[in-house]
Structure 1
Amino acid sequence: MPASGPPDEQLLKQALKWFFLLQSEHCTDKDRRKFNRWFCKNEAHQTAYAHAERLWSETDRLKETPDIPGLREARQRRPKHQPAGILGWALFFLISSALMSIGWLEYSAETVTYSTRLGEQRLISLADGSRINMNTATRLHVRISYLQRKITLDTGEAVFDVAHETWRPFVVHTDKLQIRDIGTRFNIHKQQDDISITVLEGAVEIDGVRLDEGYQQHYSSRSDHAILRPVDTEQIAAWQHGRLIFRQTPLAAVTAELERYHPVHFIFTDPAIAHETLSGTFGTRDLPLFLSSLEKALPVRVKKLPDGQTLLIDRINKKM
């Protein structure tokens, strides 16, 4: 069996050279015999060639893409006044060299991990001009290569402000979904198995299905079907400005949102309290002000238990 580890740079370049030669009409029986000797020499050569084949399958769209720098130049550098055989070899050499360089850049692209702590927010500026605004308790991975921009969101929430490029897609992956940019700004919130994708500007494709500005697609572990709904984009994106906007929101959802920003846990003494609704705009950082406002807006009292993190919400009868 071939070794499972990645090959070194020099060995991979040898494998790519062999791969392109074998695809060429100029490949001879002598070349194939030399390749077989090279391939069978050891497992490292076989592993390198397997990587070269995988790289080619990943970069297959190069054959239909006229706008990639390097490859386009190689196709245009046609030698003049040369016999057909020499001309063919020259074109093959130039194009395969460009593809080999692109293949190596694709293979060696680094994956960078970013994360935020509870209550922390962070703005990431990417090399392509895109920006990712990360909300509290978020972890994601970024891999920008020559041919693709791939983001993997493990958990949390982020707004993606994408610099659109025709030939290099921007794709966000979650456990189950693939969200592809169509020149846009969008918000993704992933908490356990629940995922919400909201388009703030432009549009995205979710597993090939278009989602337009002002709409949210929600996926829940409690349902087999996604829920499509119009939303208030200002409310969705308010966290970027340190605000939470609630509009007739059940108290259970309000407290769950506060738990994302603070090391606390809310308990209702009466389940009916959780169905009370609250409206207003609150700061994400000022928990005491929120609790004070809550006691003024609803007939409830908030008590902190001895552990310092559990907040008990009890109903009270307000005097007239």
Structure 2
Amino acid sequence: MTAKPPSIPADGTASSSASDQATAVDALLDQHMEALRAQFPLPDLEELARRAQRRRRRSRTAAATLGVCALAGALWWADPALRHASYAAGAHTISQVTLPDGSQAVLDAGARLRVDWHLRSRRVTLDEGRAAFDVEHAAWRPFHVDAGSARVRVLGTVFSVARDTDSATVTVAQGRVQVRADGEPQPRELAANQTVQVRAGRFSTTGDVPAEDALAWRKGVLVLDDVSLAEAIERIQPYRAAPIRLAAGAPVGLRVSGVFALDQPDALLDLLPRIGSVTVRQTADGTAWIEPR
């Protein structure tokens, strides 16, 4: 037979008995409360709350730090542009400018360049003419110059870049540069007193030059060392407003040497009748005609 659960009398006798037992347990706990607390100490709730708050703060700080590091890494990889500037020299004058990093640039007559300062690089684009640079050293921020199909990476130096329609010429006075050409698999490295020309994306000539003479124009001086009359006129023309013309029969192969101030280009014209069988005739508009004598 299945035992039946005890029935609860209608007069509440069972409830009274349970209440008495609970009262006895409470009394026993009260009697030994101090001993129980010594054996089983309760946690400090306020301290627990403080610890939890510190953990949450550390987690937020760690997350923020990771976020900042990730952002910094992304910016470093992207190398965003921070500053832009453009410079141009007058049609017949030389201009000297200080770039944002303290580097010096000298722009030959008619030269134009653009400067883009990035987070981890310095980039100059030579759009036209010739410019010389004295670069401030920054190991983590290399200095680059683009001149058409030629690209120059500076390794700490003084150098010049001249850009024509389809060519660029790099000349080093101090230090070293690395030159890349669009159509060449390997770059070339130049040291002081060396020059290279890039034409149509290929290296065309490399050689040694007296760099101080080649870059003397930075100081307003043109040094000619046994060059042809045609080349002498080509090199002095940018500093003269009116054109210089060679008449038919003029001795274009006449050799010319000398040091000339670029702000006095007619000094070269004055020299020619003394070194060759030519005369110089100037017209009303300032054009100088070099004619056979």
* Alignment TM-score, normalising by the size of structure 1: 0.66
Residues 216, 101 of structure 1: alpha-carbon distance in 2 compared, 3 angstrom cutoff: closer
Q: Give the gaps of 5 or more residues in structure 2.
A: 1-53, 181-186
| C-alpha RMSD of matched pairs (Å) | 2.8
What does residue 17 of structure 1 align with?
none
Instruction: Give yes or no for contact 2:94–2:220 (8 Å, CA) kept in 1.
Output: no
Query: Partner residue of 1:213?
Result: 192
Taking structure 1 as reference, are residues 298 and 182 closer, same or farther at Cα in structure 2, changes over 3 Å only?
same
C-alpha separation in 1, matches of 2:157 and 2:101: 14
Partner Cα distance (1:172, 1:108) in 2: 15
Determine which of 151, 158, 166 is the counterpart of 1:193.
Answer: 166
Residue 270 of structure 2 is aligned to residue 296 of structure 1: no
Matched with 1:262 is 240
Q: Whose helix fraction is larger, Structure 1's or Structure 2's? A: 1
Identify the residue that residue 183 of structure 1 maps to in structure 2: 156
3-state SS of paired residue (2:239):
coil
Residue by residue, what CA displacement relative to the aligned partner does 1:247-302 show, whole Å, maximum 9, x if unpaired? 11101010011111112322222456111110111111113322211221222101
Runs of at least 5 residues in structure 1 that lack an aligned partner in the other structure = 1-79
Q: Structure 1 runs of 4+ off > 6 angstroms?
A: 84-88
Q: Distance in 1 between matches of 2:161 and 2:75?
A: 34
CA distance in 2, matches of 1:309, 1:218: 34
1:246 paired residue number:
224
**Residues 91/271 of structure 1: CA separation in 2 closer, same or farther (3 Å cut):** farther
Q: 1:287/1:97 Cα in 2 relative to 1: closer, same or farther (>3 Å)? A: closer
Match of 1:34 in 2: none
105, 127, 132: which one aligns with 1:159: 132
Higher strand fraction (1 or 2): 2
- What CA deviation, in whole Å up to 9, does each residue of 1:181-213 have, x standing for no partner? 001110111122232100110110011321111
Match of 1:313 in 2: 290
Pairing 1:284–2:262 present: yes
Structure-2 change in CA distance of 1:108 and 1:244 (3 Å): closer
Q: For the residues of structure 1 that align with 2:188 and 2:139, how far apart are their CA atoms?
A: 18
Alignment of 1:1-320 (within 5 A): 89=63, 91-99=65-73, 106-107=79-80, 109-207=82-180, 208-220=187-199, 225-270=203-248, 273-306=251-284, 308-316=285-293
Q: Per-residue deviation at 1:102? A: 5.5
Could you tell me whether the CA contact under 8 Å between 1:164 and 1:181 is conserved in 2? no
Using the size of structure 2 for normalisation, the TM-score is 0.72
Which SS does the other structure have where 1:292 is aligned?
helix
* CA distances 1:165-191 after superposition (whole Å, capped 9, x unpaired): 111110000111110000111011112
Local SS of the residue matching 1:274: coil
Cα distance in 1, alignment partners of residues 267 and 250 from structure 2: 24
Alpha-carbon distance, 1:224 to partner: 5.5
Q: Would you say how many aligned residue pairs link Structure 1 and Structure 2?
A: 234
% identical equivalent positions:
23
Name which one, 1 or 2, has greater alpha-carbon Rg: 2
